[in-house]
């Protein structure tokens, strides 16, 4: 299985790793099957611009690389724009992922949505978008 240079770069040198104290939105998503967990922290200003974004991922390399790229893609953008970030846009920004690893990128998209939902709840805004059910199965392929 081949990973792009960008995936390897973001995996070995992930951007925006860590926690944000007093974050405006925190999202946690996980998959019960592979045990991967992703936690996303957002700092949001009064104009709904994401001024900072950090993540922690306990999971596979593709999950780390996609969360790293996702934080870069939402930083400096509005919450509205962040909600439009799809996992395929993240995969594209990384020059692709092997097909069996595409599901890992879904975690990054969902972690951002979950953090925004947390922010909306805090400020009393209705959560008018879908949050995924994370208990779906995902196929695991043994790599050799
Ligand atoms: Fe399940 Fe990567 S998120 S193996």
Which one is catalytic: 42, 104, 108, 116? 104
35 vs 132 pLDDT, higher one: 35
The residue whose C-alpha atom lies closest to atom 3 belonging to ligand 1 is 104
Q: Where are the alpha helices (DSSP H) in 34-101?
A: 61-74, 79-83, 87-93
pLDDT value of residue 135: 47
| 36 Cβ below 6 A of ligand 1 | yes
Place of tokens 């944000």: 20
Confidence of residue 97 (pLDDT cuts 50, 70, 90): very high
For the chain, domains (ranges, CATH) are 5-120 (3.90.1010.10)
Higher pLDDT, 144 or 35: 35
> What is the DSSP code (8-state) at residue 131?
-
Q: Please, what is the angle between helix 61-74 and helix 5-12, to 10°?
A: 90
pTM of the model: 0.88
């Amino acid at each position: 299985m081949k990973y792009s240079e960008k995936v390897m770069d973001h995996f070995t040198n992930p951007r925006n790793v860590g926690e944000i104290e007093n974050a405006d939105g925190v999202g946690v998503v996980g998959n019960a099957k592979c045990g991967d967990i992703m936690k996303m922290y957002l700092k949001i200003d009064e104009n709904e611009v994401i001024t900072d974004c950090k993540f922690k991922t306990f999971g596979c390399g593709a999950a780390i690389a996609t969360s790293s790229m996702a934080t870069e893609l939402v930083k400096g953008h509005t919450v509205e724009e962040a909600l439009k970030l799809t996992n395929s846009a993240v995969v594209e920004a990384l020059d692709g992922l092997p097909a069996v690893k595409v599901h890992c990128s879904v975690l990054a998209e969902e972690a951002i949505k979950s953090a925004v939902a947390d922010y909306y709840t805090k400020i009393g805004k209705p959560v008018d978008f879908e949050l995924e059910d994370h208990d779906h199965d995902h196929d695991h392929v043994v790599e050799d």
